[in-house]
Amino acid sequence: MEIWRITWFTVACAAAATALILPPGVVLAWLLARRKFPGRVLIETFVSLPLVMPPVATGLILLMLLSRRGTLGGVLERLGIEVVFTWKAVVLAMAIMGLPLLVRTARAGFEQVNARYERVAATLGASPARIFLTISLPLAWPSVLAGAVLAFARALGEFGATIMVAGSIPGATRTLSVAIYGYAETGQDAMALELLLVSVAIALAALWTANRLVERSAA
């Protein structure tokens, strides 16, 4: 019973995290692919940081920002919003770790769209927003989808940042990865293995579904 609860919770958070980063991530990927703007290199670097930093470090930064003593955390507390040690922190950690994967994959997709199509669309009277929605996005859709799947898979397996900012609270913030760690640490290898198998099964299912979707949209 507990296994299904933990699984359900993890998948739900990963899905929410992916849905959260999808709109801004895709727009950002397009901007980075097609537009030059001041601060572009800075933004590129920031977005990629979670990829190269140890996840625990990312988690620590989040914790410092969002806890009661942190800059953001203080504001949130006055608004009555709690993030640290709640499912919101889990979703946030997953989102931040998945964002660079989404942006980089989607951006490569946009860069592969022939710029000619976008230029002709402009001469036909389409504003940049319309070009993005009717030309760039549809043509780059397989890459966008692949990026979303990567981000989802990353979210499912996320551990280091999550455990730092969301803790390991049974029933409230314990994800599959965190639970596996807990069971392994207390010598309950049988449980750990069971959860591990569930993890792998979900990851396989997600990747399989995604590949079918990508194949179908590329056709």
Partner 1 sequence: MIDLDIEVAQGSFLLIAKVRLDARAAALFGPSGAGKTTILDAIAGLRTPRRGSIAVNGRVLYASDGGVNLPPHHRHVGYVPQDVALFPHMGVRANLLYGRHPGVSADLDRVVRMLEIDGLLDRRVTDLSGGERQRVALGRALMSGPSLLLLDEPLAAVDVPLRRRILPYLQRVRDELTVPIVYVSHDREEVDELADVVVNVDAGRVVSVDQVRGS
Partner 2 sequence: MIYRVLALGLAVLWPAVQGAPADERITVSAAVSLTDAMAEAAEAYSRTGHGVRFNFGASNVLARQIVSGAPVDVFVSADEVQMDVVAAAGLLKAGSRVPLLRNQLAIAVPGDRPRTFRSVREIADPAFKRIAIGDPAAVPAGVYAKAYLQKEGLWPAIEARIVPTGSVRAALAAVESGAADAAIVYRTDIRVSPKATVAWTVSASDGPRIVYPGAVIGTTKAAGEAQRFLDFLRSSVAIRIFERFGFTPYQ
**Site residues (vs partner 2, CB under 8 A):** 8-9, 11-13, 15-16, 18-20, 22-23, 60, 63-64, 67-70, 73, 82, 84-87, 163-164, 167-172, 182, 184-188
CA distances from 202 to 14, 71, 178 (A): 12, 37, 16
- Give which of partner 2, partner 1, none residue 157 binds (C-beta under 5 to 8 Å, depending on kind): none
DSSP state of 162: H
- Give which of partner 1, partner 2, none residue 123 binds (C-beta under 5 to 8 Å, depending on kind): partner 1
Cα 37 → chain centroid: 25
The H or E element that residue 129 is part of is helix 128-131
Please identify, using beta-carbon distances, which residue of 15 and 122 lies nearer to partner 2: 15
Binding site for partner 1 (CB under 8 A): 114, 116-117, 119-128, 134-135, 138-139
Q: Closest separation between CB of residue 116 and partner 1, Å?
A: 5
Beta strands in 176-216 (DSSP E): none
Asked if 89 contacts 83 with a C-beta cutoff of 8 angstroms, the reply is: yes
- Give which of partner 2, partner 1, none residue 167 binds (C-beta under 5 to 8 Å, depending on kind): partner 2
Please identify, using beta-carbon distances, which residue of 120 and 193 lies nearer to partner 2: 193
DSSP state of 158: -
